[in-house]
Amino acid sequence: MFAYANIVPMKASSSAVLDVLPINVLTCDPKTLVIDYANRSSIETLNKLAHLLPRGVTGDNIVGQCIDVFHARPEHQRRLLADPRNLPHQAIIRLGPELLDLYVDALWAGSKVKKLVLSWSVCTERERLKICLLYTYDAADE
């Protein structure tokens, strides 16, 4: 049996909580699309992918970058993210030989979007495994 009487609620900032999670999280300003937060996991993962990122972009300097640096023609992403009715939005994108699974949603303050929040992961192996399983399944059906 647990004794709950001595448990004291812990106050932690949102960034402190996100920094200990083993998932990649970025936030950006909904108007400028400038990244204003990257949790520790995002920074570490982006540093591992730095050779695939646009020149000069790393996990260590991702905060302050506009998401436009990731897109040859950013107008599509700008249109998509400008309308909260498009959110949440999930996509798998290619970064060199890697595949990234992106999930973006809005953080609301009343009736206004305060932040855009992106969780993401490198999903290359998962997607390759799916393809292998589909081929195996199709072969077994024949």
Q: What pLDDT does 21 receive?
A: 83
Nearest to 25 by CA among 49, 44, 10: 44
Gap between the Cα atoms of 16 and 33, Å rounded: 23
pLDDT above 90 covers what percent of the chain? 69
Q: What pLDDT does 1 receive?
A: 46
Residue 48, both tokens: 């591992």
Between 52 and 16, whose confidence is greater? 52
10 Å CB burial of residue 57 (0-12, 13-18, 19+) is middle
Alpha helices in the chain (DSSP H): 14-19, 40-48, 75-82, 124-141
Angle at 63 between CA 25 and CA 104, to 5 degrees: 35
| Tens digits of residue pLDDT in 59-103 | 999 999 999 998 888 999 999 999 999 999 999 999 999 999 999
Is 121 a residue whose pLDDT tops 90?
Answer: yes
| 127: amino acid identity, one letter | E
